């Protein structure tokens, strides 16, 4: 049996690598990668030194350390999720405004083109 420290460290390292590759390939923007990198680093550190969680649990008076870990994990995921919802709401409003303006501008350009196309005809008939 291998020590559990190795398992946790490997999981953390894999997560970190995945995020790294995603950013490198341009799938994940740098500004969003930042928080995920932070999460990856924390997972690696906690994987290497799981005793940190026990220490913090003892300091905060939590008798069952894994409970603290799960509480933090759920909290972080909730905040990330909420942020994503805000982000999509914001984006939809922006897309709407852009779409409306593009539709109007398309129409105005078309109108201009039509009047331009008519102008040479008018001068021809005038002569």
Give contact residues for another protein (rule: CB under 8 A).
Answer: 89, 92-93, 95-97, 99-101, 103-104, 106-108
Q: How far is the CB of 108 from another protein (least distance, A)?
A: 7
Specify the residue, 52 or 109, whose C-beta has the smaller distance to another protein: 109
Q: How far is the CB of 98 from another protein (least distance, A)?
A: 10
Specify the residue, 79 or 109, whose C-beta has the smaller distance to another protein: 109
Q: How far is the CB of 100 from another protein (least distance, A)?
A: 4
Q: Tell me the C-alpha distance between 35 and 33, whole Å.
A: 6
Q: Tell me the C-alpha distance between 31 and 17, whole Å.
A: 17
DSSP per position, 17-66: HHHHHHHHTTSS-HHHHHHHHHHHHHHHHHHH-THHHHHHHHHHT-SSHH
């Amino acid at each position: 049996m291998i020590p559990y420290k190795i398992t946790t460290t490997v999981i953390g390292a894999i997560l970190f690598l995945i995020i790294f590759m995603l950013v490198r390939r341009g799938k994940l923007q740098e500004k969003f990668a930042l928080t995920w990198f932070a999460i990856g680093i924390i997972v690696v550190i906690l994987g290497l030194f799981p005793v940190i969680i026990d220490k913090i649990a003892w300091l905060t008076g939590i008798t069952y350390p894994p409970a603290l870990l799960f509480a933090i994990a759920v909290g972080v995921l909730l905040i990330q999720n909420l942020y994503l919802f805000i982000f999509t709401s914001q984006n939809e409003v922006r897309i709407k405004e852009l779409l409306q303006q593009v539709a109007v501008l398309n129409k105005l350009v078309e109108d201009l083109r039509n009047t331009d196309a008519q102008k040479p005809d008018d001068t021809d008939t005038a002569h």
